[in-house]
Amino acid sequence: MPDSDARPLDGLLVLDFSQFLAGPAAALRLADLGARVIKIERPGTGDICRQLYVSNLELDGDSTLFHSINRNKESFAADLKSPADRAAVERLITRADVLIENFRPGVMERLGFSSARCTELNPRLVYASVTGYGAEGPWVDKPGQDLLAQSVSGLVWLNGNADQPPLPFGLAIADLTASAHLVQGILACLVRRGVTGRGGRVEASLLESILDLQFEVTTTFLNDGGRAPARSAVNNGHAYLGAPYGVYATADGYLALAMGSIPRLGELLELPALAGFAEPKLWFTRRDEIKHLLVAHLATRPTAHWLARLEPADYWCAEVLSWSQLWATEAFRVLDFEQEVRRDDGPAMKTTRCPLRIDGRRFKSSRGAPRVGQHTTAIRTEFAL
């Protein structure tokens, strides 16, 4: 019988040379799925993300951001400019299955760890890189930072209302999308390696990933004469969708409305003025007029009142919840999405688990992020470095 404690990537060794978010998040997902991840860090300071605070929140000397991205990993401290440390890392590479790095193009080559060199050391290695804008071209030296990638990608022109300036998304969406794409590429190469025995090179960039995230709307742009997206002037939720798509204030909160028949919505909300928009094309061309009517009407009653009318009719809608409200719901509780991690005898920290389930199993691990070089001695002994 299969081992009930086994995870899909058990037995794989990942070397994580990356810092900040995109690369480490990819390594984290592999760790969640069972891979052993050794984080290669500079002695003393380690990953710069250790000091990159979110709301000035830190735990046991490192930022909670670092803790959340680097849980369930080991830390091996190595000065990659030192011949002795480079030699030790090379020996680790000969044993590894995956190497992840997100330095600017050319840095790993200068350090002696190019894809070609690492493949020479280990032909079965999957070598995975994240850059800001690709490995060539005029933007190759631009900082690969999330807000900057969002800004050049066109994404910021999809958010907010028509009269607002370009608005960035409130998450590191470029980093996180590139991370997910990198994991997809790594797993594809590992599957191929199982057939051919050969490793591979995986490359993802923040810009390409955030462009792919927009593929629905950029396809419209490419086939619509190159016209810019036209954001709604009222409660814009999607520049390419008609009314009622958006978020509306109610008497005590907010209500999200997705796609649906406008006349039918008028019936359910007892708003006769919507009956005059029977032609679906009007739901886009006159969306702001429709939304103005909804804004005034929905503000007159509480959210629960509108949900009681819309949900039984299967009209696509939802209450807008805060994190505190979501965490208090039974729907969130049954997901069992929260976990507690701890660094040895240090303080515990709450975070979220891997979002995947395989064979019905949720993947959690209580092992917290490592201190800089915490496992160097043990790893040197184990691998005879």
Q: Give CB contacts under 8 A, 24+ apart, made by 114-117.
A: 115/201
Q: Of 83, 77, 16, whose CA–CA distance to 377 is shortest?
A: 77
Domain spanning 13-213+363-383 has what CATH number?
3.40.50.10540
Using an 8 Å Cβ cutoff, are 38 and 16 in contact? yes
User: Does the pLDDT of residue 158 top 50, yes or no?
Assistant: yes
Q: Indicate whether 197 pLDDT > 90.
A: yes
State residue 69's pLDDT score.
96
What is the distance between the alpha carbons of residues 232 and 241, in angstroms, rounded to a whole number?
9
pLDDT at 61 over 70: yes
CA distances to 70, 152, 312, 383 from 22, rounded to whole Å, are 11, 18, 42, 28
Write the DSSP symbol of residue 31. Answer: H
Rounded distance between C-alpha atoms, residue 102 and residue 132, angstroms: 9
The residues, any chain, with a CB within 8 Å of residue 21's CB and separated by 6 or more, are 49, 69, 146, 172, 175, 176, 179
What pLDDT is recorded for position 58?
A: 86
Bridge partners (DSSP) listed for residue 361: 358
Give me the residue spans of the domains in the chain: 13-213+363-383
DSSP assigned state of 228: P
Q: Say whether pLDDT at 2 is over 50.
A: no
Task: Give yes or no for residue 110 having a pLDDT over 60.
Answer: yes
The average confidence (pLDDT) of the chain is 96
Q: Which helix (H) or strand (E) holds 28?
A: helix 22-32
* Percent of the chain topping pLDDT 70: 98
Structure confidence at residue 190 (pLDDT) = 98
Our answer to whether residue 175 is catalytic in this structure is: yes
- Taking the model in full, what pTM does it have? 0.94
Order across the sheet with 246-249: list the strands.
246-249, 254-257, 317-319
**Could you report the per-residue pLDDT of 343-369, keeping only the tens digit for each?**
988 889 999 999 999 999 999 999 999
Query: Which position among 175, 212, 314, 344 bears the catalytic label?
Result: 175
pLDDT tens across 199-253, in order?
999 999 999 999 999 999 999 999 999 989 999 999 999 999 999 999 999 999 9
pLDDT at position 145 over 50: yes
